[in-house]
């Protein structure tokens, strides 16, 4: 590491606070400016929190009017700054980001990282203060010149590393240059190994000519070029890098566009928006015509649209179904897709049933395989067999099942609503036929109240219903601070063992909670806002993918409670329930001690 420098400015509409100044860490400097004394300190950033540029690449864009207005209206600027020579680690960055965040939260202010000139709200900044990502904390400055573009990164000084520059890169391939800088060089130097002037770096192991060279062009800035092997220095361009990397990059982009379209299609199908989903599925097939998943989904969607009276789609449905049936791939996915095609066409129920059974047996826990088998059984007239599968799936995967099977099982769902059977919930009696009334709102929750809350499926779509079911199940697990539940990460949960890690140690989860979390983990990636993201951090993410806040949890509990008939639900009532239970447990322990 070299010299580190970070500077975060927090702009607040309130007057300066002495309490904030007193809370400053010794290793971090804090300066406070008022607009009256230093109006020049109140400058808007060039960029704001990263968004998708195009469809996949997340990078900081121009500062928006809302951020600019917040700084225009600010009365106070808090400057959090650290400069340190060759730090041993990034502890200084964590401390400065934590202080900036605490000030922003206390003052309802906005934050500007001046090393990258990126602005954030406190909510946007919070994930970075805990686990900074290069794409979210380093900006790219781009200068176009005819058919070429030059790029340089800004913000690497807070990682005690140099920034990087690429000159005269073909503008038509600018995204490759962006990824080279952010996803490769900045990420590598910040978190793996420092890159110095005069160093070369191999980027393709099986090609000895795949070498980049780094030359310092100004303090804290390294120019990136191809390595000139004959002179052992840098060349004047990145032509060889472009020749070697472009073919693989083109294929990578195709796969990313396919994955994006597939994620949107999954979510739209779950929401019953078949016409919109079909457009994304057709896009998937334009990229990968032989993909069995896309073929199977497209056949299913087309069959529903044709069944609903859509004209001109029957031929396309039959073409895709025949393409599926002609495939000799014997993989699990191909079996499921072919069986779904047969079910959709109703052309060969016995063959569909055979393929469905083989796929379901091959991967018993897969939702699509079991749904396919249920549809095949329905198509073959085995209504009771289909009901058995649907009831089992509904207890685990309720948010997804209804959208997938409603079209094929309207008569079944009308005759017997698919209510979870409570098999994973430890209650004395757990069938749907519950006659006894719920407890009074002033009383702790009893066992049946908790069962009612666990089986409710509340939300506007399958994504929300799955998230909400997991949230309620977690809150009913143990007396854990709601803030801890809200901050729980997927990495803190082991779905195989059923353990969740909290501040006081590991908690063994109930089977019902494990099932709901497993379903939520499968459903989460379908959210369109995840495009280009590395993956989910927080288990209870809101619709904006940020951690759900306490107020949202209170609103959720009230809504779920009203739907379950357990009125006036609140976090306080859950806390009271656990307190009463603990008192009973302590009393039982005292009686056992007296018995000895």
Q: Helix or strand or coil: residue 359?
A: helix
Question: Which pLDDT score, from 0 to 100, does residue 544 have?
Answer: 64
- Residue in the block written with tokens 């005819």: 146
Q: What is the mean pLDDT of each run of 10 residues along the chain (596 residues)?
A: 88 83 69 91 88 56 85 94 89 92 92 94 88 90 94 95 95 92 92 91 86 90 89 86 91 85 84 88 89 82 81 82 74 68 68 74 66 76 74 51 40 30 37 55 81 81 79 86 82 79 84 80 58 53 73 89 86 85 62 46
Q: Which pairs with CB-CB distance under 8 Å and at least 24 residues apart come from 496-500? A: 500/474
Q: Are residues 282 and 162 located together in one domain of the fold?
A: no
| Phi, psi at 149, each rounded to 5° | -145, 140
Q: Are residues 473 and 581 in the same domain?
A: yes
d(CA 520, CA 488): 14
Please give the residue range of the domain that contains residue 485: 447-591
Which residues does residue 291 pair with via DSSP β-bridges, in sequence order?
none
Checking DSSP bridges between strand 76-85 and strand 29-34, what pairing results, if any?
antiparallel
In this structure, the strands spanning 47-53 and 118-121 are parallel
Q: Is residue 430 part of a domain?
A: no
Q: Are residues 216 and 325 in the same domain?
A: no
Same domain, yes or no, for 275 and 410? Answer: yes
What region, left, alpha or beta, does residue 293 occupy, with left being phi > 0 and alpha being psi -120 to 50 degrees? alpha
Asked if 245 contacts 176 with a C-beta cutoff of 8 angstroms, the reply is yes
Assess if residue 263 is contained within a domain. Answer: no
Name the nearest CA neighbour of 92 among 104, 80, 102.
80
Amino acid 43: pLDDT:
93
> Is this structure's pTM higher than 0.85?
no
CATH number at residue 343: 1.25.40.10
pLDDT confidence of residue 197: 92
Q: Tokens 């990136």 — which residue? A: 224
38 CB neighbour count, 10 Å cutoff: 12
SS3 79: strand
Pairing of the two strands 47-53 and 139-145:
unpaired
Residue 252 domain-assigned (yes or no): no
Q: Is 250 exposed, middle or buried (0-12, 13-18, 19+ CB in 10 A)?
A: exposed
- Bridge-based pairing of strands 163-170 and 221-228 is parallel
Cα 348 from chain centroid? 40
Residue 540 is assigned to a structural domain of this protein: yes
Q: In this structure, what CATH number is given to the domain that contains residue 514?
A: 1.10.443.10
Provide the CB-side half-sphere exposure for 319 (13 A, CA).
9
Dist. CA 524–CA 540, nearest whole Å: 10
* Total number of domains in the chain: 4
Residue 251 belongs to some domain of the structure? no
Task: Tokens for 397, please give them.
Answer: 């995967």
Question: Do 169 and 223 fall into the same domain?
Answer: yes
Cβ–Cβ under 8 Å, residues 104 and 110? yes
Q: What is the pLDDT of residue 74?
A: 94
- Is 541 in the same domain as 515? yes
Question: Is residue 420 situated within a structural domain?
Answer: no
| Domain end residue (candidates: 122, 137, 152) | 137
Asked which of 108, 137, 166 is the last residue of a domain, the reply is 137
| pLDDT computed for residue 487 by the predictor | 81
| Backbone φ and ψ of 444, nearest 5° | -65, 160
Is 403 found in the same domain as 303? yes
Alpha-carbon distance of 262 to 277, in angstroms, equals 9
Supply φ then ψ for residue 534, to 5 degrees: -75, -20
Cβ-Cβ contacts under 8 Å for 205 (sequence gap 6 or more)? none
């Amino acid at each position: 590491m070299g010299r580190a420098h970070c500077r975060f400015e927090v702009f607040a509409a309130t007057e300066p606070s002495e309490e904030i100044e007193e809370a400053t860490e010794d290793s971090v400097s804090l300066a406070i400016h008022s607009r009256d004394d230093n109006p020049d300190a109140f400058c808007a950033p060039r960029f704001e929190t990263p968004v998708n540029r195009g469809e996949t690449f997340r990078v900081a864009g121009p500062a928006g009017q809302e951020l600019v207005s917040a700084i225009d209206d600010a009365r106070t600027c808090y400057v959090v700054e650290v400069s340190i020579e060759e730090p041993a680690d990034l502890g200084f960055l964590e401390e400065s980001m934590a202080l900036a965040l605490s000030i922003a939260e206390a003052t309802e202010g906005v934050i500007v990282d001046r090393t990258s000139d990126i602005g954030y709200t406190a909510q946007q900044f919070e994930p970075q203060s805990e686990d900074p990502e290069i794409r979210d904390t380093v900006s790219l400055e781009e200068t176009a010149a005819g058919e070429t573009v030059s790029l340089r990164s800004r913000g690497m000084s807070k990682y005690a590393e140099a920034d990087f520059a690429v000159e005269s890169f073909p503008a038509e391939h600018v995204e490759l240059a962006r990824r080279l800088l952010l996803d490769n060089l900045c990420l590598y130097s910040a978190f793996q190994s420092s890159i110095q002037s005069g160093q070369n770096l191999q980027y393709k192991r099986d090609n000895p000519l795949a070498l980049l060279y780094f030359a310092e062009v100004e303090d804290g800035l390294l120019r990136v070029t191809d390595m000139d092997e004959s002179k052992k220095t840098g060349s004047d361009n990145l032509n060889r890098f472009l020749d070697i990397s472009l073919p693989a990059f083109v294929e990578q982009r195709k796969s990313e566009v396919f994955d994006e379209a597939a994620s949107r299609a999954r979510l739209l199908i779950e929401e019953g928006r078949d016409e919109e989903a079909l457009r994304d599925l057709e896009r998937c097939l334009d990229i990968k015509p032989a993909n069995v998943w896309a073929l199977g989904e497209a056949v299913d969607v087309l069959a529903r649209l044709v069944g609903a009276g859509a004209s001109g789609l029957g031929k396309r449905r039959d073409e895709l179904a025949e393409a599926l049936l002609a495939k000799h791939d014997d993989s699990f996915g191909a079996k499921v897709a072919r069986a779904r095609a047969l079910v959709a066409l109703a052309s060969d129920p016995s063959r569909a049933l055979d393929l469905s059974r083989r796929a379901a047996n091959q991967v018993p826990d897969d939702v699509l395989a079991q749904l396919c088998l249920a549809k095949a059984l329905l198509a073959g007239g085995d209504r009771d067999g289909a009901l058995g599968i649907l009831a089992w799936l509904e207890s685990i995967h309720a948010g997804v099942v209804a959208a997938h099977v409603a079209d094929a099982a309207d008569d079944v769902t009308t005759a017997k609503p698919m209510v979870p059977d409570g098999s994973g919930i430890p209650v004395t009696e757990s069938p749907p036929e519950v006659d006894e009334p719920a407890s009074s709102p002033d009383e702790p929750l009893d066992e049946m109240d908790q069962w009612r809350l666990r089986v409710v499926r509340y939300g506007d779509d399958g994504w929300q219903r799955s998230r909400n079911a997991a949230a309620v199940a977690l809150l009913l697990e143990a007396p854990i601070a709601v803030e801890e539940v809200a901050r729980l990460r997927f990495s803190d949960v082991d779905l195989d063992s059923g353990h969740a890690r909290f501040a006081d140690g590991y908690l063994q989860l109930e089977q019902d909670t494990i099932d709901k979390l497993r379903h939520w983990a499968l459903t989460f990636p379908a959210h369109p806002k995840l495009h280009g993201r590395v993956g989910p951090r927080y288990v209870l993410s809101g619709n904006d993918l940020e951690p759900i806040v306490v107020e949202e949890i209170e609103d959720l509990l009230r809504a779920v409670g009203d739907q379950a008939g357990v009125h006036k639900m609140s976090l306080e009532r859950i806390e009271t329930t656990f307190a009463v239970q603990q008192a009973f447990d302590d009393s039982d322990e005292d009686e056992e001690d007296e018995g000895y």
